[in-house]
Structure 1
């Protein structure tokens, strides 16, 4: 009898938990998304190799999530990290702290909860005046003196554009011809610390924008984008390529010529989720893949849940954000693309021995710097093996 009552009490308790979870509001409001198909096969130029494993790690434990890079004529490389810091790497691999984008707190970098006050520099570029232009996800566009670290706010997130504040500044590029700053706001709803919810929700609340440093004018060039991320100008600056991370797609946005102001898809149903896009030393485009879409035994997790809003709402309610990394493959990947999105080659690290995710691929003076969103080191390749 006691055993029967125990089973009944357990059933009632489980039912109560299930009802409670069901009634909890979900933090996301997803829509169904129908994929173009399974990810492309790993063959031809996409075939698995070990080219990324030929690199080495620098500044282990000192640089946490070096996301994006730029360099000056003296050979200094600049990058930002998850603790809100902006760094200078000297030609001799010396490391110098330039400034804190936000507050300098002991908790900065220990938890994403502190990112809104500590800041998180993403896109970093040098302008024609030798000043660093930094897109901080939370704190807006800044100009930073690369020698003194002095910061000047150019555009606050609260100001936004067309009446909509920025929530997640991300990619950045500067025209060498006009000085115009192009940048992306990945979402008007989710900040960077909730990027996993942004990807699962699969909304189209991102924008591509421009900022004129002379007039201060901000323009919305494209809206209704799926987590717009990295951008890169073509060598002649006739167009830029833009990564839509959450749907694995790359767009081309025309800046000059008869198609100016229009967009077109140059790559879809990608082998992984693209992050930053950079020009290589020889004029091709290098794309860091933050997460591959292939699994050795199971279909990709995000592919499985994409068409099912109810499943995504439930997952967002019950799975802590920190657990999602367990579902991702440890396989780093870089794509080399031509101007029309054709895959020219790839670099793989199939077991994550050097790095397990790539956010940026920056070439400077014969070295390739590999960015990441949260890894505690900087991977570099001393030679680019074509």
Structure 2
């Protein structure tokens, strides 16, 4: 079915917001279930799955990295990035109050062959956890002499082990997110960690609040979301520059499927009596064509979602504003 195009022009008290979004057939759900986090835990940001079974890692608002071991055992504490993290100070910290003492794990990706979990922590940069967990080993806190202010999204190319990650801003950190959005910050970077040389290089600069990143199967290109610019950019790794792949309001994390398609977590503003946020999951191909759109309002209300990831016949959905992982079984 052909994709429809809609132009939204919404006037608020302080600014004029212009949003472009693609509408495609809405996918209906057979069932939606919730995997609850540990007690007093909230704010899951991203997921990293094991290869063949639905066990995964996630980072939460109080700085802990949790591992889900299935419905019988549930979640267990697995790791953290802050070397001086205090349980009494940090446990139970909420999303609205990130604490540098506690750390804040955001994007993560598991390299299946080595069982290494790569992590972006908003305060402690880019690092890795081994299969036993514990304290994240810092791999890089700066590139080209410029410290990471907001290490954000991560993806690993499974055949080579190369890791691609984003630094959302070179000026603002996670406690200044609203300011970065209001000034339309465009100092984000895309970076690469070479698995052989252990070196980090800057691939692209001047991205508009670079959030999620996903590399294709052949390592020919990466998809990078630009949160404040309402777009996803396709960046060639073969020297071919970049193009705007798709325009979706406030795109956050992006994750590749096994069929080399991509799921975007996005949110658009709906012009009702009071403008409200509509959380959505959007599936696109490598050229940015919208293949599916899922309306998540029924389960998340007007809360934004940060990631939609496909595993088997299910979609796993996370939001930094809730205390659960959503699991959607779709047609």
TM, length-normalised to structure 2 = 0.85
Count residues in correspondence. 309
Contact 1:57–1:354 under 8 Å retained in 2: no
Equivalent residue number for residue 7 of structure 2: none
Within the candidate set 310, 320, 324, 1:373 is matched to 320
Q: CA deviation at 1:357?
A: 2.0
Contact 1:124–1:133 under 8 Å retained in 2: yes
Equivalent residue number for residue 172 of structure 1: 154
Equivalent residue number for residue 287 of structure 2: 340
CA-atom RMSD in angstroms: 2.5
Equivalent residue number for residue 47 of structure 2: 69
Gaps of 5+ in 1: 1-32, 301-328
- Cα distance between partner residues in 1 of 2:133 and 2:166: 27
Contact 1:125–1:134 under 8 Å retained in 2: yes
Normalized per residue, which structure has more strand?
2
User: 1:1-386 alignment to 2 at 5 Å?
Assistant: 38-40=19-21, 43=23, 45=24, 49=26, 51=28, 54-59=31-36, 62=39, 63-73=41-51, 75=53, 76-92=55-71, 94-102=74-82, 103-108=85-90, 109-110=93-94, 112-127=96-111, 128-156=113-141, 160-256=142-238, 260=239, 262-268=241-247, 270=248, 272-289=249-266, 291-297=267-273, 329-353=276-300, 356-381=303-328, 383-385=329-331
- Cα distance between partner residues in 1 of 2:227 and 2:169: 12
SS at the partner of 1:197? helix
Q: CA deviation at 1:273?
A: 0.8
Q: CA deviation at 1:355?
A: 7.5
SS at the partner of 2:99? helix
Contact 2:43–2:95 under 8 Å retained in 1: no
Q: CA deviation at 1:104?
A: 2.5
- Cα distance between partner residues in 1 of 2:70 and 2:159: 28
C-alpha spacing 1:107/1:295, structure 2 compared with 1 (3 Å): farther
- Cα distance between partner residues in 2 of 1:261 and 1:139: 32
- Cα distance between partner residues in 1 of 2:320 and 2:302: 11
Q: CA deviation at 1:149?
A: 2.8
TM, length-normalised to structure 1 = 0.73
Contact 1:274–1:288 under 8 Å retained in 2: yes
Q: CA deviation at 1:233?
A: 1.2
Gaps of 5+ in 2: 1-14
Q: CA deviation at 1:190?
A: 1.1
Q: CA deviation at 1:97?
A: 0.5
Q: CA deviation at 1:214?
A: 3.2
Q: CA deviation at 1:107?
A: 3.5
SS at the partner of 2:179? helix
Contact 1:52–1:354 under 8 Å retained in 2: no
- Cα distance between partner residues in 1 of 2:206 and 2:138: 27
C-alpha spacing 1:155/1:40, structure 2 compared with 1 (3 Å): closer
Q: Greater CA deviation, 126-135 or 356-365?
A: 356-365
With a CA cutoff of 8 Å and minimum separation of 6, indicate the structure with the bigger relative contact order.
Answer: 1
Q: CA deviation at 1:349?
A: 2.5
- Cα distance between partner residues in 2 of 1:144 and 1:247: 32
Q: Higher Cα Rg: structure 1 or 2?
A: 1
SS at the partner of 1:115? coil
- Cα distance between partner residues in 1 of 2:215 and 2:21: 26
